[in-house]
Amino acid sequence: MRIVRFTTGEDPQYGVLTGDVDVHGIPDEGCVVVALNGDPLYVGVHLSSKEYALEDVRLLAPVLPRSKVVGIGKNYAAHAAEMGGEVPPEPLMFLKPNTSVVGPNDPVFYPEQSNEVHYEGELAVVIGRICRDVPREKVADVVHGYTVGNDVTARDLQRGDVQFTRAKGFDSFCPLGPWIETELDVSSLRVQTWLNGDLKQDGSTSDMIFDVPALVAHVTSVMTLLPGDVILTGTPEGVGPMEPGDEVEVFVEGIGSLTNKVVRRD
């Protein structure tokens, strides 16, 4: 099932996207969004009688993290190497504020404090229930689904600051979407990033050093996760700069494509 959050110009609603999505993540013509009654994370999936053609709605970030986005650094060996570092012995955690989240086709604002803003295409895990100390064999019980994320990073600020907070925490630095896929085996999915149509990252989740069950177990051994919280699982090799005017697309096999444009704030 594909869960969307959308607007038709009124208050945001949740919905289920029906119809097929092709191997490139593009919905077939005729896909319909069936509106849900309430937030599925709180009340479950209850279809309403309202339907909209996909082209008549604007998709929003499919989830608003209740408390946090947990990022994982250097979770692909080739990316750790291109960053000039070793693979960490345990998952390397950082936080992005939930105010960094934006949706598909929303602008990513290039901050004036940086001269080097990078894309990082990633698989994103959406948590479905309050949880703590989740053993890896129970992780499936607490995962609502998966979406596509872009862990936008001001690389120059990341190098200069000890903490990642500023470099990864700007408003609009966490595009998520286009929807949440609730039934997906994420053990071996292609993760690609395209910049202005050029392929820049081409990895597989099978190359993660710590897999999704390991990440959820590790994060929840430290902090409680709330419904709607998100874990970004790390990026494959091939990170690089984006400039104002660029269009960045992150594709995760089995989910879809998340596209955003980089703009300088007026």
Integer Cα distance of 31 and 19 in angstroms:
5
Segment holding 201, helix H or strand E: strand 198-204
Distances from the Cα of 109 to the Cα of 68, 104, 265, angstroms: 20, 14, 6
Of 147 and 235, CB closest to Mg ion: 235
Beta 92-96 vs 198-204: how paired, if at all? unpaired
Tokens of 103: 């949706």
Integer Cα distance of 21 and 122 in angstroms:
20
Of 4 and 122, CB closest to Mg ion: 122
Q: Contact between 220 and Mg ion (CB under 5 A)?
A: no
Q: Contact between 231 and Mg ion (CB under 5 A)?
A: no
Closest-CB residue for Mg ion? 151
Closest CA to 151 of 80, 239, 92: 239
Q: Contact between 158 and Mg ion (CB under 5 A)?
A: no
Binding part of the chain for Mg ion, among 179-187, 204-212, 234-242, 244-252 by CB under 5 A, reads 234-242
Binding part of the chain for Mg ion, among 19-27, 84-92, 116-124, 248-256 by CB under 5 A, reads 116-124
Binding part of the chain for Mg ion, among 40-48, 97-105, 128-136, 232-240 by CB under 5 A, reads 232-240
Integer Cα distance of 49 and 71 in angstroms:
38
Of 14 and 194, CB closest to Mg ion: 194
Tokens of 188: 């071996």
Q: Contact between 176 and Mg ion (CB under 5 A)?
A: no
Q: Contact between 120 and Mg ion (CB under 5 A)?
A: yes
Integer Cα distance of 17 and 3 in angstroms:
6
Q: Contact between 249 and Mg ion (CB under 5 A)?
A: no
Number of residues interacting with Mg ion: please give it, by CB under 5 A.
3
Q: Contact between 205 and Mg ion (CB under 5 A)?
A: no
- The b-or-e profile of 59-73 (16+ CB within 10 A means b, else e) is bbbbbbbebbbbbbb
Of 13 and 260, CB closest to Mg ion: 260
Residue corresponding to tokens 């869960």: 3
Of 151 and 249, CB closest to Mg ion: 151
Q: Contact between 98 and Mg ion (CB under 5 A)?
A: no
Of 235, 257, 259, 260, the one binding Mg ion by CB under 5 A: 235
Give the shortest CB-149-to-Mg ion separation in angstroms. Answer: 8
Which residues lie near Mg ion (CB under 5 A)? Answer: 120, 151, 235
